[in-house]
Amino acid sequence: MPRTPVEEMTPDELASFAKEIVIRKLSERAHSRSDLASALARKQVPEGVVEATLAKFEAAGLIDDEEFARSWVQSRQRSKGLSSRALANELRTKGVDDEISKEVLGELDPQVERESAHRLVQTKLRSMSRLDDTTKIRRLTGMLARKGYAPQVAFDVVRTELGAEAAPLESM
């Protein structure tokens, strides 16, 4: 909270206040332009000051929605195993332009996405040894669906992994 209410600040104080907020947010992690605009709006910074401040940070290369999207997608796909469909939804909620999202998501390798689905299922299967196959299929495909995978991909991956799980037992 500023020492002086926003309504009573001079234009220079407003600009400094907005700059402080943006620097603090960007020091935590990368943000989209829309995220930063929302943070400034929540602090009741006037729209003109918001636009001027964000334009300066963009000109300096400190705000770049395309780079933010690329970084976000790589991080979320690696850490959460999300599909491109789920990532597109997340980028939309972050205020990233649909054209930028399409471009960044178009760079994803479908095989890497499928491998992520396999890893998710393999990890989850370790804790499901006592369940019957029908329950495993339902839970695993549900998990993949929540991560944004298409039904056919989810069923294919689950079928493959359940087959791989059963194969070592059959060879004994």
**Is the pLDDT score of 168 beyond 60?**
no
Q: Report the pLDDT value the prediction gives residue 8, as an integer from 0 to 100.
A: 84
**CA 115/CA 108 separation, integer angstroms:** 12
CA-CA-CA-CA torsion sign (75, 78, 80, 84): positive
Amino acid sitting at position 109: D
**CA 116/CA 112 separation, integer angstroms:** 6
| Residue with the larger pLDDT of the pair 5 and 16 | 16
What counts of helices (H) and strands (E) characterise the chain? 9, 0
Report angle CA 164, 79, 158 to the nearest 5 degrees: 25
pTM: 0.80
Per-chain mean pLDDT for the chain: 91
Q: What are the angstrom distances between the C-alpha of 25 and each of 17, 19, 76, 141?
A: 13, 10, 19, 37
Please write the tens of the pLDDT for every residue from 73-130: 999 988 899 999 999 999 999 999 999 999 999 999 889 899 999 999 999 999 998 9
Residue 166: pLDDT band with limits 50, 70, 90: low
Q: Helix 47-59 vs helix 11-28: angle between axes, to the nearest 10 degrees?
A: 50
Asked if residues 54 and 36 have their Cβ atoms less than 8 Å apart, the reply is yes
Please write the tens of the pLDDT for every residue from 19-58: 999 999 999 999 999 999 999 999 999 999 999 999 999 9
Classify residue 37 as exposed, middle or buried by CB count within 10 Å of its CB (0-12, 13-18, 19+). Answer: buried
Q: Report the pLDDT value the prediction gives residue 169, as an integer from 0 to 100.
A: 40
